[in-house]
Structure 1
Amino acid sequence: MRSPVEASLANQVALVRARRLAAGIPVDEAWSVRLRRRWPFRLMAPVECGPGWTDLIEALCELLDVEADGDFRFTQVKEKFGQLRCYWTGDDHSGRIDQLVEAAEEISASMCEVCGAHAAMRETRPGGYIYAACDEHARPGSDVIRVKTEKIRNVGFRIRAHRFEKEGGDE
């Protein structure tokens, strides 16, 4: 079940996707250039993930336009363990920015990093590369897995502990 923040972000992703499709903009490798033009300060850091998460990152930035002050910026945006990871700096007095970033990271686990379609978490081999992909972009021989993430909050940072299981595996 999605949190209200995740639901809000998911709705924004749908709006961004609809606008992109209506404008005829493809999901391609030039996506980060388009987003950097729109948010040059916020996205000056490396963006190291696939084009399938374009709509998600754009939707996140649009919601951050409302929540974040002028000093907010990402220090890194990347893929890690099959999910989006966004590291940032700036003030978050209400905690809303952290909630939005965390929601984007959660939503990314069910979006193909290549095309943005609904995806499953996959592993190339036991102990191999973890990634989110639709059936079309799944690597040959990879298994669908379930990722259980335990989030531990502390003042100023978050810690994640991951456990990976084959889909249908024992608890």
Structure 2
Amino acid sequence: MRSPAENRLAYQVELVRAKRLAAGVTLDENWWKRLKARWPHRLSCEMSCGPGWSDLIEAVNELVDQEGVDPITFSQIKEKYGSLRMYWHGIDPVGRIDALVDAAEEISEGVCETCGNASKMRQSGGPGGYVHSACDDHAIPGSSIIRVKTESIRTPIGRFRATTIEGDE
């Protein structure tokens, strides 16, 4: 069952995708330049993930704009254990940014990092192998579909995610 933040973000992702497609913008290796041009201060970090998650990252930033909690900055945006990770700094007294980032990380597990289509979590190379979120077209050959459980843990020094791989479905 999705949280209210996940529902809100999923809707925003669909709006972003529809606008991008209507404008004729395709996903390519320079996707991050378009986002950095729009939010140069907030997205001054390296973005180490595939173009399939660009609509998701853009939707998060549009919702951050709506929350009006600037200035926040992302210090790192990357793929880890097959899902998106977004680390940020700033003031968020109500926890809305944390909720959006948690939602983005959860949603990313069902979005192909390469093309943005629906995907499954997969592992290549057997236990201990590379975990990735991919559709059938972009899955690493020979990879197995797996179930990944993630838990967001908040401590006085920050927010962490614990990831457990349960094995083949």
- Output the TM-score relative to the length of structure 1: 0.94
Matched to 1:90, the amino acid is G
Q: What is aligned with 2:167? A: 166
Structure 1: how far apart are the matches of 2:142 and 2:166?
Answer: 16
CA drift of 1:157 comes to: 1.5
Partner letter of residue 143 of structure 1? S
CA contact (8 A) 1:68 1:91 kept: no
AA aligned opposite 2:122? R
Q: TM-score, normalised by structure 2?
A: 0.95
**In the alignment, is the contact (CA less than 8 A) between 1:68 and 1:92 conserved in 2?**
no
Say yes or no: does 1:118 pair with 2:118. Answer: yes
**Residues 102 and 152 of structure 2 are in contact (CA less than 8 Å); yes or no, is this contact kept in structure 1?**
no
Count of matched residue positions in the alignment of Structure 1 and Structure 2:
168
- Unaligned runs of 5+ residues in structure 1 are none
Deviating above 6 A after TM superposition, structure 1's stretches of 4 or more consecutive aligned residues are none
Contact 1:111 1:119 in 2 (8 A): yes
Task: Choose 66-75 or 13-22, whichever is displaced more.
Answer: 66-75
RMSD: 1.1
Q: Is the 8 A contact 2:123 2:144 kept in 1?
A: yes
Residues 19-38 of structure 1: matches in 2 within 5 Å? 19-38=19-38
User: Could you say what secondary structure the match of 1:71 adopts?
Assistant: coil
Between the two proteins, what is the percent identity of the paired residues?
Answer: 57
- Paired letter, 1:72: I
1:68 offset after TM fit, Å? 4.4
Q: Counterparts of 1:1-171 in structure 2 under 5 Å?
A: 1-125=1-125, 126-168=127-169
Residue ranges of structure 2 left out of the alignment (5+ in a row): none
Q: Is the 8 A contact 1:68 1:97 kept in 2?
A: no
Q: Hey, what's the Cα distance between the residues in 1 that align with 2:70 and 2:19?
A: 26
CA contact (8 A) 2:109 2:119 kept: yes
